[in-house]
Amino acid sequence: MIINTGTSNATGTKWSNDEMMMLYHLKKAKKTHNEIAMLMSEEIGKRDYTENSIKKKWNDTDWVAFLNQIGEAEAMVEEMQDRENEKQKIIETTLATQERFIRREQGRTDLIIDAVKSAMYRLPKPKPSSLTYSPRNRDKYTAEHVGIILSDLHIGASYTKEDTGGLSEFSLEIFKERMERMKHSVLEICERHRHVYDLPELHIFCLGDIVAGMPDAGAWSQNYIDQDIYDQMIEGVAALRDAICVWSRAFDKVNFYGIYGNHGRIGKRGANKDSTNWDRICYAWCKDTMREYDNVTWNIPTAWWIQTKIQDHNFYLTHGDGIRGSMGIPFYGVERAERNILGLMDEKPDYMLLGHFHSPAEIQTNSGCIIMNGSFMGGDMYSLKTLRRKDRAEQKMFGIHNKKGVTWTYNIQLEQEHTYEKDK
């Protein structure tokens, strides 16, 4: 700290407290001005000390005021030092308290651990159980039905990795590859479960959007559809018919339920009856060309929904485009739709099956369960760009028990080669 002495040397710099105090003490020691100048030059050497400058500084300084200032400064420094010392004492006390607390808690923990160990050692040894396990014969297990949801095939849609920046792609050839995986996966999964119980009956829930649709019939862009609607329908009939033929050989009975979706409209919304739909034409054509398959039954309603009882459980089927939502999967809208349907039906549905949203999910509700299917496309131009969402290309498959309802479930992945068979 430098106190203003009110004077300066020839260069204009003020004397520091150290210089002033050295001058004061040397003067009190009866040193001459010349001796003081020599000593200060040797010890400090900060400036050109001369006999005249020492004499002038001594005579011009109010030494009483200066010494009072020095005393206040020293008191201030001493007070700050006392505060710092007190702060350090508080820190040390706090650390010591925390260390004692940690040691005390560690001691308590050690006591609890020792007590638990001691109690465990004193426990009596378990007695041999009278229960025995013997594998049951396969015939003694209750048979289950199999449910498959097919929806949102979007045959005719086409986009490349260049279109999506490498995120996804889809074409007719990719659809056919994924349909082959679907057919084989269903058979492999059934083979696994048939080691435990019989699977006599298959239910195919076809929930619409078989075709990608006609340009200008909806909000989808014709830029990403590379087939006209007639070719889409022909490919849809061929794909569905081939899958049903394959699966019909693996089950005693096959039940087909055909619900139409919004992409199959033949014109803008409201321009025609909802049931005038290319999906329904695909279903009807499949039915007509498979008349010789007497173990296949067909249920193709004119309405947008159907409810059917399977293994003493009610299944409500609809595509799902009537459920409103924004920017993603409308989980609240789906649950609200189920609650509204309960008020319309004489028999409440135990399960509500939906397509349309391209995102497989299972939602438990107060009245049952909502099962939502995926799609054959995975991420498409709309979901990637608008929703920033890419779901995998998947379809739902599950077992149906006469008492327990839906038991096991699978999300069959269609984008990659896989097998459900045991590794060899």
158 Cβ neighbours under 8 A, 6+ residues apart? 170, 171, 172, 224, 225, 226, 227
Q: Residue 375: its pLDDT value, please?
A: 95
| 5 pLDDT more than 60 | no
What is residue 195's DSSP assignment? T
**Rounded Cα–Cα distance for residues 254 and 382 (Å):** 35
Give the start-to-end residue ranges of the domains of the chain. Answer: 142-413
Q: Residue 1: its pLDDT value, please?
A: 45
**144-159 average pLDDT score:** 96
Q: Which residue has the tokens 């260049």?
A: 162
- CATH class held by domain 142-413: alpha beta
User: Which of 41-45, 251-255, 300-304 has the weakest average pLDDT?
Assistant: 41-45
**207-236 average pLDDT score:** 84
**Rounded Cα–Cα distance for residues 118 and 141 (Å):** 46
Token pair in block for residue 283: 């279903």
**Rounded Cα–Cα distance for residues 143 and 17 (Å):** 104
Beta carbons within 10 angstroms of residue 29's beta carbon: 10
| Element holding 163 (H helix, E strand) | helix 161-164
The model's pLDDT over 35-47, given as tens digits with 9 standing for 90+, comes to 888 888 888 888 8
- 3-class DSSP state for residue 400? strand
Work out the burial of residue 330: count CB atoms within 10 Å of its CB; fewer than 13 is exposed, 13-18 middle, 19 or more buried. middle
The model's pLDDT over 123-148, given as tens digits with 9 standing for 90+, comes to 777 677 666 666 666 667 899 999 99
Of the candidates 116, 4, 113, 128, the one whose C-alpha atom is nearest the C-alpha of residue 66 is 4
Q: Residue 136: its pLDDT value, please?
A: 63
